[in-house]
A and B are shown apart, each in its own frame.
Chain A
Amino acid sequence: GENVEQHPSTLSVQEGDSAVIKCTYSDSASNYFPWYKQELGKRPQLIIDIRSNVGEKKDQRIAVTLNKTAKHFSLHITETQPEDSAVYFCAASGTSYGKLTFGQGTILTVHP
């Protein structure tokens, strides 16, 4: 099955800096790569996703890049704010229709 590795496990930045989280996946058939944000005690919520026919997608301060050849994708957050502090999860679809495999998560802390 699909295996997703996520790095780093923790990331600390100053407000206004950029943050980058990276994920690698094992199944070359994966075609959908979402990113979820989970605030403390809350449910995961989708913040951005990308499909395998696109190399990059941007939504305001967040962007995701995908390198299918290398089987890795990254989340970029610019001009970070304290409210960006949360756990971020990447995921990949694998070959099972509808099934997502999640990375282990990255705890992002943005210091004011």
Chain B
Amino acid sequence: DAGVIQSPRHEVTEMGQEVTLRCKPISGHDYLFWYRQTMMRGLELLIYFNNNVPIDDSGMPEDRFSAKMPNASFSTLKIQPSEPRDSAVYFCASSLSSIGEQYFGPGTRLTVT
């Protein structure tokens, strides 16, 4: 398996623009997680899905953020409108079960100017 795939790897956008990050989990993994990593706040869980259903979105910072998982092999994280404080590395991870190793993707480095 190729592991968790994320695209794009780098995104530079202007404030106010819509940003869409994409993730393909490892085949057969039932759990998918979206994390944000910054120097100030560390690694934060934004939302996670089980069998394509959002389970906990309490980490989503505000209504500008939304996430979907239309099928078992694809998820998106959307920011609309984007702001400079959204600049961070966004990781997607997947796992076979609720308790166990989470496999992280390479991350998307987002810069909002």
Contacts of A98 in B (CB 8 A): 31, 48, 50, 55-56, 95, 98-99
For window 88-108 of chain B, which residues contact chain A by CB distance below 8 Å? 91, 95, 98-102, 104-107
Task: Please tell me if the beta carbons of A46 and B91 are within 8 angstroms of each other in the complex.
Answer: no
Task: Please tell me if the beta carbons of A43 and B42 are within 8 angstroms of each other in the complex.
Answer: no
Contacts of B112 in A (CB 8 A): none
Give A27-52 as 1s and 0s: 1 = Cβ < 8 Å from B's Cβ atoms.
Answer: 00001101000000011111001010
Contacts of A34 in B (CB 8 A): 101-102
Contacts of A104 in B (CB 8 A): 42
Interface residue SS majority, chain A = loop
Q: Answer yes or no: A89 CB below 8 A from chain B CBs.
A: yes
Expressed in whole angstroms, the Cα–Cα distance for A101 and B42 within the complex equals: 11
Task: Please tell me if the beta carbons of B56 and A99 are within 8 angstroms of each other in the complex.
Answer: yes
Expressed in whole angstroms, the Cα–Cα distance for A46 and B94 within the complex equals: 13
8 extra interface residue pairs, beta carbon distance < 8 Å, beyond A51-B99, A98-B31: A31-B99, A34-B102, A98-B99, A99-B45, A102-B43, A104-B42, A105-B42, A105-B43
- 14 of the cross-chain contacts (CB-CB < 8 Å) are A1-B58, A44-B91, A49-B100, A89-B43, A96-B56, A98-B55, A98-B95, A98-B98, A98-B99, A99-B48, A100-B102, A102-B44, A103-B42, A104-B42
Chain B positions near chain A (C-beta within 8 angstroms): 31, 42-45, 48, 50, 55-56, 58, 91, 95, 98-102, 104-107
